[in-house]
C-alpha cells in the first residue's frame, strides 16, 4: 500500500489519503524500518506457487522500496523523511550483497544456486526512488534473456509457473528494448496460443502454456499488465494545470491524467486481490 499510495500522490497530487491516515502509514513505515531487509518467512504470491523461503529477496525488495517511498511522501508533505530515506538506502546496498548469486539474484539470502526475476524492482523504476544502480538492472536483463520458456519467464529457478502481470513488471525492469519486448511477446503468445479455453489465467505454466492452479482466472490481478503505461508517466498535475486554459495541450494532459488514474485503479485492484488471497 505504501508503494501504490506514493504512485497515487505522484500521479494526482492528492495527499488526502496519507494526511487522513498519518498514524497508520507511520506504523507501517516503522515496521518496514525494522523488518524490510530481513523479512523472515512470510506468505507471498510467489510462495503459493513455489514455496515460501526464509528471507525472500523479492519480498525484501518491496519492503525496502516502500520504505523509501514513504520518505518521499513525507518530503512531498514538507516533512523530514531523512531517517527513513537513509535506512532504505542502506538496506538497498546491503540487499545487493545478501542476495548475490552466481546468476542474477538469489530467490532467498544465501541460496546462491537459485534465482528470482525480482519483479518488485519495477517499483524503483516506477517511483524513481533511485535505490539501485544500473548494474542491478543489467544483471536482471541478462537473467531474463537466458531463462525464457515457450510462454514466458518463470518466476524463478524453483518453478516453471509464471504470471503475465509479474512478467510485465519484469519487462519494466529490463535494461533494453530487446529484452523488454521478448518478455512482452511471450505473454502475448500465451494469450493467443495458450492451452486454456478460459478467461485470462493469472498463473500458468511457462513451458506447457496451461493453467495449473484451479480458480486463478478472470481475476483483477491481470490489471498489472498495464504497468508499463505508467512507468515513465511521472506527475501530470503541473502540466495539466498549466494548460487548463484550453487548447489541445490542456486536453491531452487531462487525457493522460485520466489514463494514469485508470491504470492506478487497475494496480489497486491486483494488489487488493493479492491481499485477499493471503488473508
Distance separating alpha carbons of residues 165 and 160, to the nearest angstrom? 15
Which residues, 6+ apart, have CB-to-CB distance to 210 below 8 Å?
194, 195, 196, 204
State the average pLDDT for the chain: 82
Distance CA 267, CA 229 (A): 11
Per-residue DSSP letter, 159: B
pLDDT for the residue numbered 259: 47
At residue 231's C-alpha, the angle toward residues 256 and 184, to 5°, is: 110
Element (H, E) at 204: strand 204-205
pLDDT tens digit string along 174-192?
999 999 999 999 988 888 8
Note the pLDDT of residue 278: 43
Residue with cell 536483463: 141
Q: What count of other Cβ atoms lies within 10 Å of the Cβ of residue 244?
A: 11
CB atoms within 10 A of CB 111: 18
Half-sphere exposure of 64 (CA within 13 A, CB side): 30
Report, in angstroms and rounded to the nearest whole number, the Rg of the chain calculated over CA atoms: 19
109-144 pLDDT per residue, tens: 999 999 999 999 999 999 999 999 999 999 999 999
Please indicate, yes or no, whether the overall pTM of this predicted structure exceeds 0.95. Answer: no
Amino acid at each position: 500500500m505504501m508503494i501504490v499510495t506514493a504512485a497515487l500522490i505522484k500521479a494526482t497530487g492528492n495527499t488526502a489519503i496519507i494526511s487522513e491516515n498519518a498514524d497508520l502509514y507511520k506504523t507501517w513505515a516503522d515496521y518496514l524500518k525494522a523488518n524490510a531487509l530481513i523479512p523472515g518467512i512470510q506468505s507471498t504470491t510467489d510462495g503459493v506457487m513455489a514455496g515460501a523461503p526464509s528471507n525472500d529477496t523479492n519480498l525484501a525488495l518491496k519492503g525496502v522500496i516502500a520504505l523509501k517511498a514513504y520518505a518521499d511522501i513525507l518530503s512531498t508533505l514538507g516533512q523530514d523523511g531523512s531517517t527513513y530515506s537513509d535506512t532504505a538506502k542502506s538496506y538497498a546496498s546491503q540487499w545487493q550483497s545478501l542476495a548475490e548469486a552466481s546468476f542474477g539474484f538469489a530467490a532467498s539470502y544465501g541460496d546462491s544456486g537459485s534465482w528470482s526475476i525480482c519483479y518488485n524492482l519495477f517499483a524503483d523504476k516506477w517511483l524513481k526512488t533511485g535505490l539501485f544502480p544500473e548494474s542491478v538492472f543489467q544483471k536482471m536483463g541478462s537473467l531474463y534473456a537466458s531463462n525464457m520458456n515457450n510462454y514466458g519467464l518463470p518466476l524463478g529457478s524453483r518453478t516453471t509457473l509464471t504470471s503475465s502481470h509479474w512478467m510485465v513488471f519484469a519487462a519494466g525492469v529490463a535494461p533494453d528494448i530487446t529484452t523488454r519486448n521478448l518478455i512482452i511477446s511471450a505473454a502475448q503468445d500465451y494469450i493467443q496460443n495458450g492451452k486454456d479455453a478460459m478467461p485470462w489465467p493469472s498463473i500458468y505454466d511457462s513451458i506447457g502454456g496451461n493453467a495449473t492452479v484451479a480458480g486463478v482466472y478472470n481475476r483483477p490481478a491481470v490489471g498489472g499488465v498495464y504497468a508499463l503505461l505508467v512507468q515513465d508517466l511521472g506527475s501530470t498535475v503541473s502540466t495539466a494545470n498549466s494548460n487548463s486554459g484550453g487548447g489541445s495541450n490542456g486536453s491531452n494532459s487531462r487525457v493522460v491524467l485520466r489514463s494514469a488514474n485508470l491504470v492506478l485503479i487497475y494496480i489497486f485492484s491486483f494488489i487488493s486481490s493479492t491481499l485477499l488471497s493471503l488473508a
